[in-house]
C-alpha cells in the first residue's frame, strides 16, 4: 500500500509539496482553482495528513491526556464523557491512562507524559497513602498544562475543578442528625485525598455544631476491596448496635453499607439511615431511604477540559485563580416514570 502523502499529491498534480500543503490548509495565498484541484484529488485518494509529522513540525500534538484512577466508576465515566465532548469539538484527541489508585503507576505514567506526547493533562490523583508528589512536580516543570479535577494535588499552582465537598459533607451529616441520628458512621476511602479531607471536615463540623461528640471509632477507612469493606461495616454494625446513621463519602461504600445492613437484617431507614455519594442513577433505586449526593460529573469533565484547552490554544499558563467549584446535587430522588 503506497502511502498517500503530500509528495504523492504534488507529483500527480504537478505542483510543489508546499503548494499542496497550503491548499489543504485553505491558505489565502493559493488560487481557488488549484485549491479545488488539490482538494479533489486529496478526497479521491483519501489523503489523511500524518499526524506525527505535523506534530513534530509544529510542536503541538492536538492531544490531551486524562489520568484517572479507574474508568469503571460512574463519576469518572461521566467525566470522560464531558472531556471527550469538549476535546472532540475542538479537534483534540484524548489519551487515557488508569492508575488503579497506585502511586507508582501514576508516577510511571506521568513520566512518559513528559515527552511532548500531550499538550495538556487532566488529572484526578490516585488515593495513595503517600504524600509524595514529586512525580507531579516533575511533570509540572516539564511542560504540559495541567488541570486537576475532583482529586486535587494542592501543591501545584494550577487550576482545578472540584465540587463543594465540605458543604456536602456538612449537609449530609446534618440531614442524618435532623432525622434523629446520634451515632453516625463516616465511611471514607483510605488515603490522602483532598476530597476525603474536605468531606470529613464537613462531617466533623456538622457534628460539632449540633452538639454531638466526634467519635473516632465511628470513622471507617475503606479500601478498594468491596467485599472487604462490606465485612468491615458489617462487623462494626454488629459491635455497635447504637449506630443509627451512616455517611458514605464514596459510592461503593454506600453500596457496601447497604449490603451490610441487609446482611444483618437491619432495616433502612427504620434502623439505620444512610446518606451516600453516588453518581449512579440506580443507587437511589436500591432503597428510597438511601439518600444520595450526586456530583455534576459530566459538567466537571467539560469544565476541566474547557479550561485546559483554552489555556493551550491561547498559550496562557493556567493559574489557580481559574479554579472552579461546582455544586453537587443533594438528596434528590430519582424520578420514576410516575412522579
The answer to whether residue 7 forms part of the interface with DNA (CB under 7 A) is: yes
> Reading across the β-sheet that carries 219-222, which strands appear in turn?
219-222, 184-189, 245-248, 273-277, 290-294, 329-330
The answer to whether residue 314 forms part of the interface with DNA (CB under 7 A) is: no
- In the shown chain, the binding pattern of residues 274 to 303 toward a copy of itself, with x for contact by CB under 8 A and - for none, equals ------x-xx-xx-----------------
Q: How many angstroms separate the Cα of 29 from the Cα of each of 25, 34, 141?
A: 10, 11, 39
The answer to whether residue 29 forms part of the interface with DNA (CB under 7 A) is: yes
Query: Least Å distance between CB 308 and a copy of itself?
Result: 16
What residue has cell string 438511601? Answer: 290
- In the shown chain, the binding pattern of residues 59 to 78 toward a copy of itself, with x for contact by CB under 8 A and - for none, equals --x-x------xxxxx--xx
User: In 3-state terms, the chain is what percent helix, strand and coil (to 5)?
Assistant: 45, 15, 35
18: partner contacted, choices DNA, a copy of itself, none (Cβ within 5-8 A by kind): DNA
Query: Least Å distance between CB 55 and a copy of itself?
Result: 4
Q: How many angstroms separate the Cα of 125 from the Cα of each of 98, 132, 135?
A: 10, 11, 11
Pick from 12, 36, 46, 49: which binds DNA (CB under 7 A)?
A: 49
Cβ-in-10-Å burial (0-12, 13-18, 19+) of 315 comes to exposed
Q: Please name the helix (run of DSSP H) or strand (run of DSSP E) that holds residue 293, with its range, or none.
A: strand 290-294
Pick from 46, 58, 314, 338: which binds DNA (CB under 7 A)?
A: 58
If the CB atoms of residues 138 and 238 are measured against DNA, the closer one turns out to be 138
Rounded to the nearest 10 degrees, what angle do helices 32-44 and 6-13 cross at?
120
Q: How many angstroms separate the Cα of 55 from the Cα of each of 51, 216, 245, 260?
A: 6, 54, 55, 53
Set of cell numbers at residue 165: 465537598
The answer to whether residue 326 forms part of the interface with DNA (CB under 7 A) is: no
CA dist., res. 246 & res. 266, Å (int):
13
Query: Least Å distance between CB 4 and DNA?
Result: 8
The answer to whether residue 327 forms part of the interface with DNA (CB under 7 A) is: no
If the CB atoms of residues 159 and 283 are measured against a copy of itself, the closer one turns out to be 283
Q: Which stretch binds DNA (CB under 7 A): 3-11, 99-107, 152-160, 181-189?
A: 3-11
Residues that bind DNA (CB under 7 A): 3, 5-7, 14-19, 21-22, 24-25, 28-34, 49-50, 53-54, 56-59
Amino acid at each position: 500500500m503506497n502511502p498517500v502523502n503530500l509528495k504523492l499529491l504534488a507529483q500527480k498534480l504537478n505542483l510543489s509539496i508546499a503548494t499542496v500543503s497550503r491548499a489543504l490548509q485553505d491558505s489565502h495565498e493559493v488560487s481557488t482553482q488549484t485549491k479545488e484541484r488539490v482538494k479533489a484529488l486529496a478526497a479521491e485518494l483519501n489523503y489523511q495528513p500524518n499526524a506525527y509529522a505535523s506534530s513534530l513540525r509544529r510542536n503541538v500534538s492536538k492531544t490531551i491526556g486524562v489520568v484517572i484512577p479507574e474508568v469503571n466508576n460512574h463519576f469518572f465515566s461521566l467525566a470522560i464523557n464531558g472531556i471527550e465532548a469538549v476535546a472532540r469539538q475542538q479537534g483534540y484527541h484524548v489519551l487515557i491512562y488508569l492508575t488503579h489508585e497506585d502511586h507508582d503507576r501514576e508516577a510511571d505514567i506521568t513520566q512518559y507524559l513528559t515527552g511532548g506526547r500531550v499538550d495538556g493533562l487532566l488529572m484526578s490523583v490516585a488515593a495513595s497513602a503517600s504524600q509524595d508528589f514529586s512525580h507531579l512536580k516533575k511533570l509540572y516543570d516539564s511542560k504540559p498544562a495541567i488541570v486537576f479535577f475532583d482529586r486535587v494535588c494542592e501543591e501545584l499552582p494550577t487550576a482545578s475543578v472540584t465540587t463543594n465537598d465540605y458543604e456536602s459533607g456538612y449537609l449530609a451529616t446534618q440531614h442524618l442528625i435532623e432525622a434523629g441520628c446520634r451515632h453516625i458512621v463516616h465511611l471514607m476511602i483510605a488515603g490522602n485525598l483532598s476530597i476525603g479531607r474536605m468531606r470529613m471536615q464537613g462531617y466533623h463540623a456538622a457534628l460539632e455544631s449540633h452538639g454531638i461528640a466526634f467519635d473516632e471509632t465511628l470513622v471507617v477507612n475503606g479500601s478498594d476491596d468491596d467485599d472487604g469493606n462490606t465485612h468491615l461495616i458489617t462487623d462494626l454494625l454488629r459491635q455497635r448496635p447504637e449506630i443509627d446513621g451512616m455517611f458514605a463519602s464514596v459510592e461503593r461504600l454506600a453500596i457496601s453499607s447497604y449490603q451490610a445492613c441487609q446482611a444483618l437484617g437491619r432495616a433502612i431507614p427504620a434502623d439505620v439511615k444512610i446518606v451516600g455519594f453516588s453518581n449512579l442513577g440506580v443507587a437511589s433505586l436500591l432503597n428510597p431511604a438511601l439518600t444520595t449526593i450526586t456530583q455534576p460529573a459530566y459538567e466537571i469533565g467539560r469544565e476541566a477540559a474547557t479550561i485546559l484547552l483554552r489555556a493551550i490554544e491561547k498559550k496562557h499558563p493556567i493559574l489557580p485563580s481559574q479554579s472552579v467549584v461546582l455544586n453537587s446535587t443533594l438528596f434528590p430522588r430519582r424520578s420514576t416514570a410516575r412522579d
